A and B are shown apart, each in its own frame.
Chain A
């Protein structure tokens, strides 16, 4: 079964600084990959997804992520962080065939300093 690792539990960045959140996945083939964001007490909002094709994907709110097959990674980036980006970020992996069990990483909590 597929699995996801997010190595960083908590990251703090200053407003205006760049951001990179790490995600590594385990799956026997090319998976579907997602980044979701969750504000406290809220549901999850999809930031971006990778299915196939261009390995650099653009998402909402100025986020982008790059799929690197050789490193089994799908890191999330943003060039300039805004205070409103403070939230919990989850990387998720889904199988291409057979089932719908999308699995989430443990999450990375982002704090933005003024």
Chain B
């Protein structure tokens, strides 16, 4: 199984809503990532979890709250988002937290904030 599964595929939420994005992998990878990708732009790193601990936070606003309940799951909790937060949110995982080895990406969640 070399898949990273993200749910939901599409999400529309109001600025006062609370929602969560979910990501799951069963490859035994110990590093998991959240990236944000705006249209016609490259993915931008948001968070990195290594061995279920937050290791990198790229100065992301607190309205985005990551959580790694176990080694297979990664969540991104969303609250009080702004329309400019609309983007494709990509989850990825890689085997070794100590090195930037290849990352496997999910298909993403297309988020629209209205």
Contacts and interface: CB of A to CB of B under 8 A. Distances in A.
A57 to B, nearest CB: 12
A31 B50 CA distance: 20
Given A41-B88, A90-B42, A101 B107 contact: no
A44 B88 CA distance: 12
Given A43-B108, A106-B41, A106-B42, A100 B102 contact: no
B42 A100 contact: no
Contacts of A102: 33, 45, 100, 103
A36 B56 CA distance: 22
Contacts of A36: 105
A41 B42 CA distance: 13
A96 B106 contact: no
Contacts, number: 75
Contacts of B98: 97-98
B48 to A, nearest CB: 5
A53 to B, nearest CB: 15
A30 to B, nearest CB: 12
B48 A101 contact: yes
Contact of A103 (B45, B90, B102, B104): B45
Interface in B20-73: 31, 33, 40-43, 45, 48, 50, 55-56, 58
Contacts of A74: none
Contacts of A107: 40-42
Nearest to A106: B42
B107 to A, nearest CB: 4
Nearest to B94: A100
A81 to B, nearest CB: 21
B106 A100 contact: no
Given A41-B88, A94-B100, A103-B45, 15 more contacts: A32-B100, A34-B102, A43-B106, A43-B108, A46-B103, A93-B100, A95-B99, A95-B100, A97-B98, A100-B99, A100-B100, A101-B45, A104-B43, A105-B42, A107-B41
Interface of B: 4, 6, 31, 33, 40-43, 45, 48, 50, 55-56, 58, 88, 90, 92, 94, 97-108, 110
